[in-house]
Structure 1
Amino acid sequence: MSLKLEKLTVGYRRRPVFRDLSLPAIEPGALVAVVGPNAVGKSTLLKSIAGLLSMSGRVCLSDDNLTAMPATRRVHRLGYLPQPLPQAIPLVAYETVFSACRSARGDWSRGDTEQAIEQVFETLGIRDLALRRLSEMSGGQRQMVGLAQVLVRQTPLMLLDEPTSALDLHWQLNVLNAVRNATRESGAIALVASHDLNLALRFCDQVLVLAPGGQAVMGPPAEVLTPALLARTYGVDARIETCSRGHPIVLADRPLASR
């Protein structure tokens, strides 16, 4: 199922963040890094696709127009992980993931649900958290449980807003490996907002660079990321090198006097 954004206009209090934003179709199985400087609209874009902000335009997942779809149907089509961490509530992790799964996958039997939860806890490496209360967890652990709530539903579209922000390097790699494998195995599409360019590029198939003024460029990292684009978007003098495994690496040398 491909994802298309057509003439998307969204903003706050009559201040548009994006105006008539259209993107090339994103094909099934793609992991797309959504990057850009602070306050450029990464979270706004994911929220608008999720249907959480008033907007005009069309967001289509194959033949389904998500913008015209009621929330009760949309929950079956996409999973959204917001930037704020899950609240430190007294429920245990298994209960919260079970509830998230049942709310979106009412067609599954209890056995199917329990099997899916077991698999996602194993994949993320958080089996030891299953019976712990969220109120007893660190921020990073709660972030992992929040991601489990999205992955367990197996939706064709995942919108993840900085899913590694509270995690150390080991868990960052674990999370992005899990998301990449989920997209490739099921043909799902994942949009992952991130401030860490190099971590995002290590795993992504495409990169969507959002620039001030509502501008956007999307494509393979090797084609999109250039010193000129980084200077224009981030205000830095930077180079793009290639590591020994063939992945692009952004090396920022100095800030520029002005953007």
Structure 2
Amino acid sequence: MSLRLNGVDAGYRRRLVFRNLTLPEIPRGTLVAVIGPNAVGKSTLLKSLAGVQPASGSMMLHEEPLAQGRVDQRVRQVGYLPQTLPQPVPLIAYEIVFSACRSARPDWSRAHIERAIEATFKTLGIHKLALRRLDEMSGGQRQMVGLAQVLVRRTPLLLLDEPTSALDLHWQLNVLNAVRAASDCDGVIALVASHDLNLSLRFCDQVLVLTPDGGAELGRPEVVLTPAMLARTYGIEARVERCSHGYPIVLADNAVTASDYF
């Protein structure tokens, strides 16, 4: 089981963000960090896979075309978390997560849904938010509830767009530990867009680097993240080393001149 993209075009009416995007096969149980500077198409890629952004070409999940599935089939296969936070509505978190799960998984019994919610809230460490109204929560707390809405459905593909953007370091680690566990224990394929390179590298199996010139490169961090790639992508002089625990870290030494970068 895998995710395969071949010849994908995606973008907007006046501008294609991707043209003929083809990636190596992403196997089951892989966590991919989708990285790159602003406006290179990280969100566009995730939206295209989620079916909320028009795209052409072949996007296959477990040998089934994502683009041709019915909406009810897609929500069982794909869990998508956009950048926008859940609205601060006067509903409690448990109700919102329950409704999302009931809508996406009508084949699950009430007891099954309740067990899934209990497990998800425990994994994310948000039991204390269960009976809180969203309009009484901070942006970070609402982001955690939004993630719970996605994780509770146990989809084989997770598409998470900046899932830690509103969170402090404790909750960032909670989120990425939960996604890592879904990949390891359930065989989920997860694509996580992020600007935090080192936090992403701490958890990912592969990185997908999107570059300003429309390029894309997928592979192991130690292979893909070369000084030349970092200079071309981010306009920085940087190197990749290993921390005391063996994880790759990017050390940025300097910014290149604007004329070299743009």
Report the TM range for the smaller structure's normalisation.
over 0.9
Residue number in structure 1 paired with 2:60? 60
1:191 is aligned to 191
The 2-side partners of 1:225 and 1:20 are apart by 23
Scaled by the length of structure 2, the TM-score of the pair is 0.98
Q: For 1:11-90, list aligned pairs within 5 A.
A: 11-90=11-90
Aligned partner of 1:147: which letter? L
What value does the CA root-mean-square deviation take over the aligned residues? 0.7
Deviation at 1:213, TM superposition (A): 2.4
Counterparts in 2 of 1:87-236, with a 5 A limit? 87-236=87-236
Stretches (4+) displaced over 4 A: none
Secondary structure of the 1:195 match is coil
Whether the aligned pair in 2 keeps the contact of 1:237 and 1:255 (CA below 8 Å) is yes
Which range is displaced more, 94-103 or 194-203?
Answer: 94-103
Q: State the AA in 1 paired with 2:128.
A: D
Instruction: Give distance in 2, aligned partners of 1:137 and 1:252.
Output: 35
Deviation at 1:247, TM superposition (A): 0.6
Separation of aligned partners in 2, 1:23 and 1:99:
35
**SS in structure 2 at match of 1:24:** coil
Code of the aligned partner of 2:246: G
Unaligned runs of 5+ residues in structure 1 are: none
- Following the alignment from structure 2 to structure 1, what is the Cα–Cα distance between the partners of residues 140 and 156? 25
What is the CA–CA distance in structure 2 between the aligned matches of 1:58 and 1:131, rounded to whole Å? 43
The CA distance in 1 between the partners of 2:5 and 2:95, in whole Å, is: 35
String of CA shifts for 1:185-242, please: whole Å, max 9, x gaps: 1111000000000000000000000001220000010111000000000000001111
Distance in 2 separating the partners of 1:165 and 1:233: 21
Asked whether the 8 Å contact 1:17–1:213 carries over to 2, the reply is no
Question: Residues of 2 paired with 1:55 and 1:213: CA distance?
Answer: 19
Letter in 1 for 2:74: R
Deviation at 1:72? 2.1
Deviations 1:87-130 (A, max 9, x none): 10111000110011111111111000000000100110000000
- Inter-partner Cα distance in structure 1 for 2:54 and 2:244: 45
CA distance in 2, matches of 1:12, 1:214: 14
TM-score (norm 1): 0.99
Deviation at 1:166, TM superposition (A): 0.2
Shift of 1:15: 0.7
Deviations 1:156-184 (CA, angstroms, capped at 9, x unpaired):
00000000000000110110001100111
Deviation of the 1:35 alpha carbon: 0.1
Percent of aligned pairs with the same amino acid: 68
What is residue 248 of structure 2 aligned with on the other side? 248
Give the C-alpha shift of residue 14 in structure 1.
2.9
